[in-house]
Amino acid sequence: MNNPFVLGAIPPGAPFCNRSKELKELMSYSESNANVVLYSPRRYGKTSLTKRVQSILVDKGFIAIYIDPQACQARLN
Ligand SMILES: Nc1ncnc2c1ncn2[C@@H]1O[C@H](COP(=O)(O)OP(=O)(O)OP(=O)(O)O)[C@@H](O)[C@H]1O
Ligand SMILES: [Mg+2]
């Protein structure tokens, strides 16, 4: 049986609880080319929300790029 619990960020097509106000606000900022900083304690859904916004933007014809600096390694020489 597949694990029914999603452990990582929620994929754009998966069920998503609430966040309709935040989605609307972030869409408005994105469409106005505004920079936004999302902050919260860990595991509050920042990445899932960001990916959802990006998916809606792509559906509307925007190009969305997701960069995860945590995946980068610094080289110190
Ligand atoms: N709107 C939502 N509905 C249901 N589950 C959610 C929702 N948003 C996030 N989750 C769940 O909460 C967990 C944390 O989500 P996510 O990874 O997006 O949080 P985060 O704030 O980016 O975490 P971190 O601070 O570790 O980067 C995930 O397991 C995800 O499945
Ligand atoms: Mg995250």
Tens digits of per-residue pLDDT, 15-62? 888 899 999 999 999 999 999 999 999 999 999 999 999 999 999 999
Pocket lining: 53 vs ligand 1, CB cutoff 6 Å: no
Number of H helices, E strands in the chain: 2, 0
Q: With respect to residue 12, please indicate whether it lies within any of the assigned structural domains.
A: no
62 CA to centre of ligand 2 in angstroms: 22
How far apart (Å, rounded) are the C-alpha atoms in residues 25 and 59?
Answer: 17
The average pLDDT across 67-74 equals 83
Domain membership of residue 39 as a residue range: 20-71
Q: How many domains does the chain have?
A: 1
Confirm whether 8 is domain-assigned.
no
Euclidean distance between CA atoms 62 and 58, whole angstroms: 5
Structure tokens at 35: 């920079």
What ligand 1 atom has the least distance to the C-alpha of 50?
A: 18
Q: Is 13 within a domain?
A: no
pLDDT above 90: residue 2: no
Instruction: Say yes or no: CB of residue 56 within 6 Å of ligand 1.
Output: no
Residue with the smallest CA separation from ligand 1 atom 14 is 43
